[in-house]
Structure 1
Amino acid sequence: MPRVVLLGSSPSPDIAPGQVAPPAALTLPALPGCPTVIGKLHGQIASIDPSPVTIVRSGDATFYRGLPGQLVTTSDLAGDLRAVADAIEHSTENLLFLPTNSLIHDELIYQITKSKRGALALITKEPREEDENGDTVVADVPIDEALPEIGDRRLEGLPVRVRARKSRVISVGSAFHAVTRPNSVILGPLHLHHKHAATLADACRELADMAHLLGPDDDLVQLLVLCLVRRGVSVGVRGRRDLFFRRISDPVQAAEAVAEMSTFNEDRARLNNAVKGADGFFTTYFVSTYSRFIARWAARRGLTPNQVTLISIALGVAAALCFATGQRAGMIAGGVLIYFAFVFDCVDGQVARYARKFGVLGAWLDATFDRFKEYVVFAGLAVGAAVSGVGDVWVLALIALSVQSIRHLLDFAYGAANRRKPPSPLPSVPLSVSPDTGLRQALEERKMARNTGGIRSLLKMWGKAGKYRTVHWARKMIVFPIGERFAAIAIVSALFDARVTFLVLITWGAVGAVYSLTGRLMRSLA
């Protein structure tokens, strides 16, 4: 579980005239129990960290006393940065930074904290400017020629001083640090792996010594990301998508935010997030379209992922027994049962993600018995072929089993080797340097160095081809993932016989193995 640091001292929110209490102390009358913003936030993070660190300005400390955790008071922005450094420098747990005036869905907190990236920030980008025809307006000056600037535009009450691409923050600015063509703001939640805690603490102390160069509009969370990016830490980005987050500054914003939040279906978003995003074509369009609803039904009735796994195993064994009859009716029944065995194989993982019930035993059962179901079905098909007079297909069954076993070994070995490979380091730039020109130049040089060479060029071209849906799904299917394998067994066995089924499995499996092995060799040599 991450260590939570609540930031109540960010200078960004504007206090409304006559408002004495800080935004975090505003009440939310439309919600049950009429909680304060900070009270609701504490309730949400209690299961993550029951004793968070809260950093606030001395004048606001009264409104935070009595809340769980450690309260740290400061007098200025330099004190805020030093307090953050003191709170995190020796952390052995991942960290979650949240402004105290955040109104946020539980599911969004969960999605951010489960990230395996070194750092992840919630952002929103400026809408792209369009002309009267609806076409995106292209800037007169290419970004490579644009000059760094101190952004004065505002988005959701925050200065636009962040340059972000699709997956990563490129540069962050402040009243002193200039950014080339900023296009985003850091909304608030920031998740950080503990291995970067000391780096951030050191950078915060350095920036604290420069606090006289910063301005009243500089947001504390944005400054933390500035420290990380300038120290060469990769900060990934994600948007709100189908979930809600707002910072609240006054009672009017609080009422508007609660009303807007009520229009979001958090449970539906949680259910959608229970489905893996990288599934194959068959799983995406013929299973996950409805399996998520089975998962929610099962979770609400107390079924555990392991119990669902046992259902999947039982269906797989029943399918093998049907195949072993060798009769046409048995082959059709086996095809139907193996399809639903795969459906429940998907459901067990979706139940785990929806109900947030994870365990080593469940992961082991799921991985092990996927292979068991597949191989017991091979045996059932081979027995059925002998019974029905199709002939001896045990050799084909052993070849199909060998192809899949070798593929699984190669997948495991490549994954293990890839995890040991250290990531390419990002460039760093001193905090004392105002423009981000040097940072952008170093990133371009890094990009050019990585893209040189014939193999890398081919991989880049193949990667870009994936933006076309036909190519994307073709690449997913050619590797013959488990969904396509179970679909092939179900369909071919129901329509033909065991011999044809094994020939399809061997041929498609061999093509997928060659494709995967070629790609991995190219990536290893690039």
Structure 2
Amino acid sequence: MGAAPVLEELREVCQPRAKLASRNGEHWAGRLYMRKISLRLTRQLVRTPVTPDQLTWTMVVCGVASGAALLVPGLTGPVLAAVLMQLFLLFDCVDGEVARWKGQNSATGIYVDRLGAYLADAALMAGAGFHAARSGFGGWVSLGLATALGVVLLKASTDLVDVARARRGLTVADDESTRPRSQGVAAVRRLAAAFKVHRLTNGIEASLLLLAAAIGDTITGGVDVTRWALIGLAAITWVMVPAHLLSILSSSRLR
């Protein structure tokens, strides 16, 4: 095992500015704090035989386990879910950093990374349904599963842009192409972006919301706060599904 690389040299290779500056390529939590943590873990991992694909699978396990943790009753489940979702984000940063340093980028890693994002967010929403139900199945579990389906549709509609462009022989869409051509759609999109409620369809933000709701449940002695949080997540998700589709079709992403 050789000496660990210097952090500045590692940052130059593993955290390219173009990626961190991309609105669609980097989660806000990555820019805010996780990239500072991940680089230090990456500094140690690049000295080991661990592969980027192994780290990506670790990310997937953390994400799915986050949803499964919500099966644990009380405050414990949401605490575990939030911690595991943070680990999901950590390994989501680290796998790419190790891949860039070692020059081991692969189509398999990209595929598993995207699959992990689907599974993690869907598992969290489904787990929220079980947590809201407290016991048995019933309507709350169905609502959680419906929210999970909506989240999958949101992610799929985004990824299908790349599929459509690739089949047409086009390059990957840039940030500029995501702007709607319609002034009306653009205005609605700016309004939504100002309140940022759409972020709650992401597992990172949703896990923190569910943790806050669980703390409220602990204070009130029930699960009503979590149930209202789940209703809110479901409503936001299913408003976002057609809105996101309209945003894609009214932009230049498919041109």
What's the counterpart of residue 304 of structure 1? 51
State the identity %. 22
The answer for the alignment partner of 1:516 in structure 2 is 244
Q: Is the 8 A contact 1:280 1:476 kept in 2?
A: no
What residue number does 2:61 align with?
314
Are residues 356 and 500 of structure 1, via their aligned partners in 2, closer, same or farther at CA, if it must alter by over 3 Å? farther
What amino acid does structure 1 have at the position aligned with 2:199?
Answer: F
Note if contact 1:274-1:353 (Cα within 8 Å) is conserved in structure 2.
Answer: no
The one-letter amino acid paired with 1:517 is L
Does residue 1:504 correspond to 2:232, yes or no?
yes
Task: Assess, with a 3 A threshold, how the Cα gap between structure 1 residues 317 and 458 changes in structure 2: closer, same or farther.
Answer: closer
Q: Report the secondary structure of 1:358's partner residue.
A: coil
The question of 1:487 aligning with 2:230 is answered no
TM-score w.r.t. structure 1 length? 0.36
Structure with greater contact order relative to length (CA < 8 Å, sep ≥ 6) = 2
Partner of 1:409: 156
- Cα pair 2:118 2:155 within 8 Å, conserved: no
The aligned counterpart of 1:341 is: 88
Unaligned runs of 5+ residues in structure 2 are: 1-7, 171-179, 215-225
Q: Is the 8 A contact 2:42 2:94 kept in 1?
A: yes
2:99 aligned partner: 352
Q: Could you tell me how far 1:341 is from its partner in structure 2?
A: 1.9
Secondary structure of 1:303's counterpart equals coil
- 1:14 aligns with none
Counterparts of 1:422 and 1:356, CA distance in 2: 26
8 A contact 2:60–2:113 mirrored in 1: no
Q: For residue 38 of structure 2, what is the amino acid of its counterpart?
A: S
CA deviation after TM superposition for structure 1 residue 352, in Å: 1.3
Q: Conserved in 2, the CA contact under 8 Å of 1:390 and 1:499?
A: no
Offset, 1:485: 1.2
- Which whole-Å deviations, capped at 9, do the CAs of 1:61-117 have from their partners, x for residues lacking one? xxxxxxxxxxxxxxxxxxxxxxxxxxxxxxxxxxxxxxxxxxxxxxxxxxxxxxxxx
* Separation in 1, partners of 2:212, 2:31: 23
Conserved in 2, the CA contact under 8 Å of 1:312 and 1:340? yes
Instruction: Judge conservation of contact 1:385–1:391 (CA < 8 Å) in 2.
Output: no
Measure the CA separation in 2 of the matches of 1:318 and 1:456.
40
Displacement after TM superposition at 1:476 (Å): 11
Change (3 A) 1:268 1:344: closer
The partner residue of 2:134 within 387, 392, 416 is 387
| 1:291 maps to which of 38, 55, 62 | 38
CA distance in 1 between partners of 2:101 and 2:244 (Å)? 31
The one-letter code matched in structure 2 to 1:474 is A
From the two aligned structures, give the one with the greater strand fraction: 1
Partner of 1:67: none
2:241 alignment partner, SS class = helix
From the two aligned structures, give the one with the greater helix fraction: 2
**TM superposition shift of 1:358:** 1.5
Which among 4, 19, 41 is matched to residue 276 of structure 1? 19
SS in 1 for 2:19: coil
Aligned counterparts of 2:232 and 2:19: Cα–Cα separation in 1: 27
Structure 1 contact 287–343 (Cα < 8 Å) conserved? yes
8 Å contact kept, 1:305–1:357: yes
Q: Normalized against structure 2, the TM-score is what?
A: 0.69
- Aligned partner of residue 300 in structure 1, secondary structure: coil
Q: Distance in 1 between matches of 2:11 and 2:148?
A: 39
Give 1:168-317 correspondences, 5 Å limit.
265-273=8-16, 276-277=19-20, 278=22, 279-317=26-64
2:122 is aligned, of 360, 367, 375, to 375
Q: How many residues align?
A: 222
CA separation of 1:512 and 1:352: change in aligned 2, threshold 3 A: farther
Query: What SS does structure 1 have at the residue aligned with 2:202?
Result: helix
SS at match of 1:412: helix
Runs ≥4 residues deviating over 6 A: none
Give, in whole Å, the separation in 2 of the partners of 1:336 and 1:359. Answer: 28
- Counterpart residue type for residue 13 of structure 2: R
Distance 1:379 1:511, change over 3 A: closer
CA shift, 1:520, in A, is 2.1
What CA distance in whole angstroms lies between the structure 2 residues aligned with 1:297 and 1:480?
A: 32
Q: Secondary structure of 1:372's partner? A: helix
Match of 2:176 in 1: none
Name 1:474's counterpart in structure 2.
193
